[in-house]
Structure 1
Amino acid sequence: MKTQSVDLTSKLAQFSEHWAPRTVAEFNGHDIMIAKIKGEYAWHSHADTDDFFLVVKGTVFIDLPGDVTVQLDPGQLFVVPKGVEHRPRAEEEAHILLIESTGTPNSGDVATAAPRRVI
């Protein structure tokens, strides 16, 4: 049993790459991850799982089909339903917390996904 809390600020200070999530904890078969993002990510979807985004710092936009955009500020979250194409983006660097089933490719495709990194 782990008895230490996870300090997200400390974990975020350990890397600088954008769009390269880091797993900071595991929960019932899910990875709890943090990521730094800036610019646009590719349009993608996840056929078998929802996509959870919680903004820790900055402003994040989630583009959805039909010219719909969801704006998320710190402390706000959004869940993209499985199978829905989406594109996260941030004009300035933003920090997010993600929860995904362990092994879920962040790009929706194993061939283009970032590798799983645990910190």
Structure 2
Amino acid sequence: MSKQPISLDEALAGFDQVWSPRIVAFVNDYDVRVAKFAGEHVWHVHEHTDEFFLVLDGEIRIALRDGEEREVVLPKGSAFVVPRGVYHKPSSVDGASVLLFEPTGTLSVGDEHDPVPEHVDTTTGHVVA
């Protein structure tokens, strides 16, 4: 990782793939990741960790199954935490750039998930050079 400030705009400009998070920094045992969202992800759950979303550009929706099925809408500048153990499915109609904060090694499709479509990268993140 760089010992210099990190431009999130430059990191996001360095790749085109959606649903393929890039690790821009490490904080203790956590990754700071950026990702591009477009279309739908997959229903999944992280059994042992919360997942933090901060919308840098665009708008995302997160469908949740937490006792009831519901959806939260996050416009640019909004943050939301999906609690551990809650099934969720992020999506973005018009595309979005998102910052995520989660423990190093966390799979992008969680511990359990529906079948993963080709456009979703099953990864623990790709380190930005």
Instruction: Name the TM-score class by shorter chain.
Output: over 0.9
Q: In structure 1, how many angstroms separate the alpha carbons of the residues matched to 2:9 and 2:52?
A: 20
Query: Once the two structures are aligned, what percentage of the paired residues are identical?
Result: 42
Count of equivalent residues: 119
Contact (CA 8 Å) 2:25, 2:33: kept in 1 or not? yes
Q: Structure 2 residue aligned with 1:83, among 73, 85, 91?
A: 85
Unaligned residue ranges in structure 2 (runs of 5+): 117-121
Structure with greater strand share of residues: 2
Residue by residue over 1:57-116, the C-alpha shift from the partner in whole angstroms, topping out at 9 and shown as x without a partner, is: 000000012231100011110000000000000001100000010001110149962253
Q: TM-score, normalised by structure 1?
A: 0.93
Q: Is the 8 A contact 2:106 2:124 kept in 1?
A: no
Q: Say whether 1:29 aligns with 2:38.
A: no
Residue aligning to 2:48: 48
Q: Secondary structure at the match of 1:12?
A: helix
Distance 1:7 1:110 in 2: 33
Structure 1 residues 110, 70: closer, same or farther in 2, change over 3 A?
A: closer
TM-score by length of 2: 0.86
Superposition map of 1:1-119 within 5 A? 3-65=3-65, 66-109=68-111, 113-119=122-128
Root-mean-square deviation (CA, aligned residues, Å) is 1.9
Instruction: State the one-letter code of the partner of 1:63.
Output: A
For residues 27 and 62 of structure 2, what CA distance do their matches in structure 1 show? 25
Mark the runs of 5 or more structure 1 residues left unpaired by the alignment.
none
**Which letter maps to 1:97?**
L
